[in-house]
Amino acid sequence: MPTKTEDLSSFLTKSLKDPSIFVNYGIINGEERKGTDGKTFAISEPSSKEVLANCADLSKNDIIEAINLAVTGFANFSSNTSAKQRGLILKEFFRLIIANSDDLAMILSLENGKTLAEASGEVNYAASFVSWFAEEAPRSYGDAIPSSYANTEVFTFKEPVGVCGIITPWNFPAAMITRKIAPALAAGCSVVIKPPRETPFSALALCKLAIKAGIPPDCFHVVPTTDREAASELAINEKVNKLSFTGSTGVGKMLTRLAAGTMKRVSMELGGNAPLIILEDADISKAVAGVMVCKFRSSGQTCVCANRILVHLDIKDRFIEALVDRVNALKLGRGIEGGTTQGPLVNAAAVKKVSEHVQDALSKGGVLHAGGKEQAHLNGFFYEPTVISEATTKMEVAHDETFGPLAAIFSFNSETEALELANATNYGLAGYFFSENIGRVMRVARKLHCGMVGVNTGLISAAESPFGGVKESGMGREGRKYGLQEYQNIKCVTIGNLQE
């Protein structure tokens, strides 16, 4: 922890084993890029509101320059490396992430607020995408099928899409970068990354390690900016062939409209409103553990967090009692302080939103069992882990993602009612349920309208699991072989007149 007189940035530099991975400028072609006229923006630690560092604020011209360099970078990288070589470079990138994981976790915890334990977990999660796609790179299969014409062969192979624009969120400052760039680089693409305004330093540190691992500098650019119009260039510019975005549904729709101007490929990982159903035959201890990890991971700031917890009336009271015991044992505090289990929210707007959802629920008949208050005295953006029962569809939490530590408990009487409630949303990212009945497990998993289903678990994210949604939660999948395909085009070759 910093001493009373020490500023946060000195504390960070002192804590890092290799301070050179912490940089506060853009990286274009492997070189430091300052903002025009020295323009910067401040990044503060959400737990203390203290400034961590100022970061260079790049312009639209900088982004256009990065895109132009990425065009040449792509041409060289895709034609001069084999898939196996790209896999080897990614293996070295993985090795460097693991070797620097303590430093990366410290940077991540300070800029995002999450606990050091969660930040370390995220660094490992980020690294897992790099090792996964290092292995996937050489497994980029095409196929062949008998042609319907005589004396003809028809087959397909995969080609990299080209220059990729990557726009990522603050809630997973490292993993959301690697989940996109590892498959892009494995395929042979080049990337221009616009990191989140709140947490640019993890992306910049990863860029330094990627270049050190052997990714050509003209293939990997990071352009921090607060200028939305400049960032939109990644969606508009005709030289960008693919746009991958993780963030809100509203911004995703806007970027998709812009990308349509050049018909570029898009992957959109957008908002969720996940239901978590606890059926009457569930094992309550598994369900409580599942809710704890699913709802309170990253203080409720994940797009796969359970937003609506639906509990069968027969077991509701027992479930609430067990959940409240666990929630009351959580400890709010600074991410880098030992013993903290819950970090802060990202900013004041996030605290306001949780507070509004809680007040709205309580004003409409919700019953408070735990939490329910902002913790302004802690100096950061803290809101207590909160449990409210008697939630109804009239409440805001039923329709809008809280993105914070509010466990809203709805109840139901039958499986049919639970499914109706669960599917009554425009979103379809994740859904969860708990049941010990195998027939029911298969039935309910099929009937939930979402891209990912967790059964008897609250943790579904991993490199081998295709991440993505249906409905307004977006399009595309990240992870497994599908993640690589998002960065590839299928080319079909027909060879006719093969007769002698």
Taking the least distance from each CB to ligand SIN, the nearer of 283 and 400 is 400
> What is the residue type of 352?
K
Is 337 one of the annotated active-site residues of the chain?
Answer: no
3-class SS string, 205-244: HHHHHHHHHCCCHHHEEECCCCCHHHHHHHHHCCCCCEEE
CB of 346 to ligand SIN, least distance (A): 12
Residue 172 in contact with ligand SIN, rule: CB under 6 A: yes
Burial of 201 (0-12, 13-18, 19+ CB in 10 A): buried
Residue 182 in contact with ligand SIN, rule: CB under 6 A: no
Residue 171 in contact with ligand SIN, rule: CB under 6 A: yes
CB of 239 to ligand SIN, least distance (A): 27
Query: Which of helix, strand or coil describes residue 18?
Result: coil
CB of 307 to ligand SIN, least distance (A): 12
Taking the least distance from each CB to ligand SIN, the nearer of 33 and 180 is 180
Q: Which of 345, 349, 461 is nearest to 406 (CA)?
A: 345
Taking the least distance from each CB to ligand SIN, the nearer of 44 and 246 is 246
Decide the pairing of beta strands 274-278 and 430-434.
parallel
CA-CA distance, 127 to 119, in Å (whole number)?
12
Taking the least distance from each CB to ligand SIN, the nearer of 172 and 201 is 172
CB of 71 to ligand SIN, least distance (A): 29
The residue from 270, 294, 303, 455 that contacts ligand SIN (CB under 6 A) is 303
Residue with the CB atom nearest ligand SIN in the bound state: 461
Catalytic one of 219, 303, 305, 450: 303
Q: Which of 164, 159, 80, 160 is nearest to 492 (CA)?
A: 159
CB of 155 to ligand SIN, least distance (A): 35
User: Which DSSP state fits 374?
Assistant: B
* Those residues with Cβ within 8 angstroms of residue 165's Cβ, 6 or more apart along the chain or in another chain: 67, 192, 194, 234, 235, 237, 240, 242, 243, 244
> What x/- string results for residues 140 through 169 when contact with ligand SIN is judged by CB under 6 A?
-----------------------------x
Taking the least distance from each CB to ligand SIN, the nearer of 248 and 341 is 248
Residue 304 in contact with ligand SIN, rule: CB under 6 A: yes
Catalytic one of 233, 269, 374, 401: 269
Residues in the chain, total: 500
Is 55 one of the annotated active-site residues of the chain?
Answer: no
Residue 128 in contact with ligand SIN, rule: CB under 6 A: no
How distant is the alpha carbon of residue 314 from its chain centre? 36
245: left (phi over 0), alpha (psi -120 to 50) or beta: beta
> What is the residue type of 87?
G
> What is the residue type of 20?
S
Decide the pairing of beta strands 26-28 and 190-194.
unpaired
> What x/- string results for residues 445 through 464 when contact with ligand SIN is judged by CB under 6 A?
----------------x---
CA-CA distance, 486 to 477, in Å (whole number)?
7
> What x/- string results for residues 239 through 278 when contact with ligand SIN is judged by CB under 6 A?
-------x--------------------------------
Residue 178 in contact with ligand SIN, rule: CB under 6 A: no
Which of the residues are catalytic?
A: 269, 303
Q: Which residues bind ligand SIN (CB under 6 A)?
A: 169, 171-172, 246, 302-304, 461
